[in-house]
Amino acid sequence: MERKSHSKCVLCRREGKKLFLKGDKCNSPKCPMVNRNSVPGVHGKTSSRRLTDYGERFRAKQQCKRIYGLRENTFKKYFQVAQKSSSNTGDMLLVLLEKRLDNTVFASSLFPSRAMAKQIVSHGLVRVNGKKVNIPSYQVKMGDVITFKIGKKLEKRVEDFMSAKKTFVATASEHVYYDKDKKELRVLRDPDVSNVKQTVDAKLIVEFYSR
């Protein structure tokens, strides 16, 4: 089983870039990438970041996998599905990842991180078209209506985050619309992954799995 017990910030340091895994902390002076921008380990500060062609492809795959919080087997299955599509494999891979329920919830900008959005789904606090769905990998469709059944404490936390929200990561949120009055999230269309591609090099991921 591929389970990680270390801090998410270590993953950013390993990749040499901010993956925005901790929400607002990633944009604050407390972010380890500000004062500890080196590879983890005793030789981190003297370690070279020069990579071979294979290393660049591997790191691109690792970065994408860690951004979406997926294990290797799960991530590879998404690639295999995208590969069978008639569309561009890299673009389809990102579309499939963005259409996951947890990532759709995150695209609403109601929650500070993908990890929290995934937790909200896993705890059964999300309804899709009126039915409880607690599977983060559930693929949403155009026209789906998503609502939340959260307690007052969590609702206040969400409201506080919304009132003090800062733009800390680019998300393809144009494909969803959150109605504040009805407190429901609507899926308007398939996600536009152009913003995601600024962070994730899908071409290198395709080359890695196609080698």
Domain spans in the chain, listed from the N-terminal domain onward: 8-97+198-209, 100-187
What's the pTM value of the predicted model, to 2 decimals? 0.76
DSSP string, 82-118: HHHSSS-HHHHHHHHHHTBHHHHHHHTTSSS-HHHHH
CATH assignment of 100-187, among 2.102.10.10, 3.40.50.720, 3.10.290.10, 3.50.50.60: 3.10.290.10
pLDDT in tens, the chain (211 residues): 455 545 655 555 555 565 555 555 545 555 555 565 655 554 455 556 677 899 889 989 988 998 898 999 999 999 999 999 999 999 999 999 999 999 999 988 888 888 889 999 999 989 999 999 999 999 999 999 999 987 776 777 666 666 655 443 434 467 999 888 888 899 999 998 888 877 889 999 999 998 7
pLDDT of the residue at 194: 85
Instruction: Read off the tokens for 151.
Output: 């307690």
pLDDT of the residue at 192: 87
pLDDT of the residue at 142: 94
Sequence letter at residue 24: D
100-187 matches 8-97+198-209 in CATH topology:
no
Contact 136, 114 (CB under 8 A): no
Classify domain 8-97+198-209 by CATH architecture: Orthogonal Bundle (1.10)
pLDDT of the residue at 167: 44
Q: How far is CA 172 from CA 11, 86, 117, 197, 208, in A?
A: 23, 22, 15, 10, 25
